[in-house]
Amino acid sequence: MARKFLYAIAIVVVLIIAGGIALSFWSNELTQLAFVPGGEFEEQAALENNAYEDPAMWIARPGMGEGNPARFLPDGFTPEEGTSDSAVFFVHPTSYTATDHWNAPLDDAAGRSGAELFVRGMASPFNRSAQLWAPRYRQAAVGAFLTEKPEAKRAVDAAYADVAQAFDYFVASIPQDAPIVLAGHSQGALHLIRLIKEKVAGTPLAPRIVAAYVVGWPVSTETDLPAMAMPACATPGQPGCVMSWQSFAEPAEPEALLEAYARGPDLDGRPKLPENVLCTNPLTGGTGGEAPMGDNLGTLVPNAGMTGGTLVAGAVPAKCDPRGILLIGDPPEMGSAVLPGNNYHVYDIPLFWANLRADVAAREEGYAKARTAAQ
């Protein structure tokens, strides 16, 4: 088990290196040559209608037992009594770095191991819920986000089709009146934005959403939020809202990232600019603002062997910057996955692991009060 986990770490390190180069030299031809698939796009056949009935199509789902990576808890952490009534749908970030395909094959060992590792560290804050689901999907390769080739959009669309199908099965499988928490990071967050626009907004599901944690991908306040029909989270405990942030230590150098957002259009064809990128603060539970490191209940810091981790209270502060990013003060020691420009993208969720866990509980309480008042 430890060897498998270390192998997964190695895969993620490769991903980080790829991402770091990409963010530093976004338009550099050498970057595209190294990471963008060179072959023709392979049309992805639709999955069977009942594909997600197969437990193997899920990284995490109820009933998996000890092999479920989303059930991970930090060393020494004592879980709360009882469980959450919410059902959680989590979409993992990119873990496929190869250039053989535009979309990761479902049986790709490296992509699968990396995805399981991400679920372990990023979905675990939500595991108060017994109904925590995280699908496998034919994710777009990391190179699809480094090029303007038309194949890139086709790869992202193909990946989204799998996520949408998994979501339909998730909704059909959970109790009909269960509150729903939506969460995703990076590529997973991109798919989540579209999922909310197309399958939640204006449907009977909308009143059931406790919160949407769209982390590590920019959310436009001008285009995304209206299309998602959800407001930004303005106060702690507010239900039915969106939390979103992108973490940078200081001195932060997000220019390459922000320029990429400005060049690349949103799903509706309009670019995301710094002035309309949502920043919510995971330490305050609201939009903008700042909080001292003393308000950080626990950062998930991996151990030297990357076989587990511990919670460190007061590790980093958090302040929303006018550039649409979240500043976390001096660079904390988290490991080797920090991207150029002091970009802590991979640690967006672990940096605030305990606060995120508490944030979900507070919004669930707010949701329950609002539903009782409406009856």
Rounded to whole angstroms, how far apart are CA atoms 222 and 227? 9
Q: Find all residues with CB under 8 Å of 212, minimum gap 6, and list them.
A: 181, 182, 183, 192, 196, 228, 230, 241, 242, 243
Do residues 345 and 335 touch, judged by C-beta distance below 8 A? no
Rounded to whole angstroms, how far apart are CA atoms 165 and 137? 10
For residue 51, how many C-alpha atoms fall within 13 Å in the half-sphere facing its CB?
20
Total domain count for the chain? 1
Rounded to whole angstroms, how far apart are CA atoms 114 and 235? 34
* DSSP characters over 16-33: HHHHHHHHHSTT-HHHHH
What's the angle, vertex CA 203, arms to CA 199 and CA 207, rounded to 5? 110
Rounded to whole angstroms, how far apart are CA atoms 169 and 137? 13
Rounded to whole angstroms, how far apart are CA atoms 19 and 16? 5
Do residues 72 and 59 touch, judged by C-beta distance below 8 A? no
Do residues 212 and 230 touch, judged by C-beta distance below 8 A? yes
> What is the rounded radius of gyration, in angstroms, for the C-alpha atoms of the chain?
19
Q: Which domain holds residue 157?
A: 2-44+51-374
How is residue 203 annotated by DSSP?
S
Rounded to whole angstroms, how far apart are CA atoms 66 and 72? 9
pLDDT tens by residue, the chain, 375 residues: 333 333 333 334 444 444 443 444 444 454 555 578 877 888 899 999 999 999 999 999 999 988 899 999 999 999 888 789 999 999 999 998 888 899 999 999 999 999 999 999 999 999 999 999 999 999 999 888 878 888 889 999 999 999 999 999 999 999 999 999 999 999 999 999 999 999 999 999 999 999 999 999 999 999 999 999 999 999 999 999 999 999 999 999 998 777 777 666 565 667 777 778 999 999 999 999 999 999 999 999 987 766 678 999 999 999 999 989 999 999 999 988 888 899 999 999 999 999 999 999 999 999 999 988 987
pLDDT at 273: 75
* DSSP characters over 177-201: T--EEEEEETHHHHHHHHHIIIIIT
pLDDT tens digits for range 130-153: 999 999 999 999 888 878 888 889
Rounded to whole angstroms, how far apart are CA atoms 352 and 216? 13
Sign of torsion, CA 115 116 118 122?
positive
The token duo for 250 is 């200081």
pLDDT tens digits for range 265-319: 565 667 777 778 999 999 999 999 999 999 999 999 987 766 678 999 999 999 9
The 3-class secondary structure across 217-245, one letter per residue, is CCCECCCHHHHHCCCECCCCCCCCEEECC
Do residues 88 and 129 touch, judged by C-beta distance below 8 A? yes
H or E stretch at 208: none
Rounded to whole angstroms, how far apart are CA atoms 351 and 298? 8
Task: Give the residues across from 318 on adjacent strands.
Answer: 291
> Which string of b and e fits 253-270 if b means at least 16 CB within 10 Å?
bbebbbebbeeeebbeee
